[in-house]
Amino acid sequence: MNGFDTLGKSASATTQLYIDTLKEGLLVYDMNIMPYNGDDYIMVLLLDYSVKNPGQHTELTVLQAMQDWALDYNGDQKADAKNVQLTTVNLLGEEHPIYRYDMKSDGKAMHGACLMLKQGTTFAMIIIDAIETETIDTILRGFYTIK
């Protein structure tokens, strides 16, 4: 993904490639399609929001700035998500803003969540779409710190 040539590169070289890409104002992303129902997935986008938008930014301000894009699945400039609710979720002992919503994918009723996590000036936008809300909740409960 991302068009990176990481074959044979060390972890530190790959990490530096990600950092350089973010500092250029470009997105780094990954997607995982879950085998449970075939339609469930997680997409993670990393961005350094300070590159094009200098100043202080919070998870909430960046989440709100990305809302239209994140909730428009087919690129027609219209929100495809319905019943959008802004709430918070406790991850790793801290409250984080999260949008919860309903949507349709290939005619199937689905549920979604979109949240933003901040580290320094880098933000990770995490989009989780699943047929069952329990799948989303299980994923959110599964966050833990690696030491």
Contact between 59 and 118 (Cβ < 8 Å): yes
Class level of CATH domain 27-141: alpha beta
Higher pLDDT, 146 or 41: 41
Q: Where are the beta strands (DSSP E) in the chain?
A: 28-33, 41-48, 82-91, 94-105, 108-119, 122-130
Average pLDDT of 112-134?
91
pTM of the prediction? Answer: 0.80
The backbone torsions φ and ψ at residue 49, rounded to the nearest 5 degrees and listed phi first, read -70, -15
Rounded-to-integer distance, Cα 60 and Cα 86, Å: 10
Tell me what pLDDT residue 140 has: 92
Tens of pLDDT, residues 6-61: 778 888 888 888 788 888 887 777 767 666 666 888 888 888 877 777 777 899 98
Would you put residue 2 in left (φ > 0), alpha (ψ -120 to 50) or beta? left
Distance (Å, rounded) from C-alpha 107 to C-alpha 39?
11
56-89 confidence digits (pLDDT tens): 789 998 888 888 878 777 778 888 888 999 999 9
Give me the pLDDT at residue 126, please.
92
